[in-house]
Amino acid sequence: MLLRACNVSVSELCARGASTAREFVQLGFDAIDLVDDRQLLRDLVVRFGGDAVASAFVASVSDAIMVAGAVSEDELKIPPNDLLRLCTRNARAATAVLEQLVLHWSVCEAANCGIRLASPFARIDWRLLRECNVYLPNVPGIAITTICNDLDTTGMPVAERARVGLLTISSVTGPAN
């Protein structure tokens, strides 16, 4: 992108008339820019606020996958449910978002010397798994055990647990709830 290549700052673009986070998207900035350029992210959040930046830059399935588990997701404080809502009826995308969330969470937990951090899955609404057509055994690696241990399945019917794969996993990892 030409504006990034020219190293034009948020302040300079605002001085030239950019007055909202959405205008930065219209100028060609996108979610990958928030992931790749932490200074750009910080400047946008300071100027427009995290909510405005998140709603302007994280508006599609590819945006959700891009920021899931990235520092930008942390700084924008995007709840996992919001990322999954962008993946409705798209099991592959939702699985990618879940995988990225687990990878990021496990790295952060390791960096904190094994101190248990709040899992992103404790806040996920299980109904979103259904809406996204997620089958949990398809989520790679460490994610399976993490999701099963932390997902709040209160009120989740047995048939729904089977449909998303929790019953299959619980035979390996222990009870889902």
* Helical H segments across 27-153, by residue range: 31-36, 38-48, 50-57, 61-67, 71-76, 80-85, 91-111, 126-131, 143-150
pTM: 0.80
Cα–Cα separations (whole angstroms), residue 72 to 36, 67, 114, 121, 138: 9, 6, 23, 18, 26
pLDDT digits (tens, 9 = 90+) for 81-113: 999 999 999 999 999 998 888 787 777 666 665
CA angle in degrees (0–180, nearest 5) for 137-142-146: 80
User: For the chain, what are the domain ranges?
Assistant: 1-78, 105-172
pLDDT digits (tens, 9 = 90+) for 64-80: 999 998 877 778 888 88
pLDDT digits (tens, 9 = 90+) for 17-59: 999 999 999 999 999 999 988 899 999 999 999 999 999 999 9
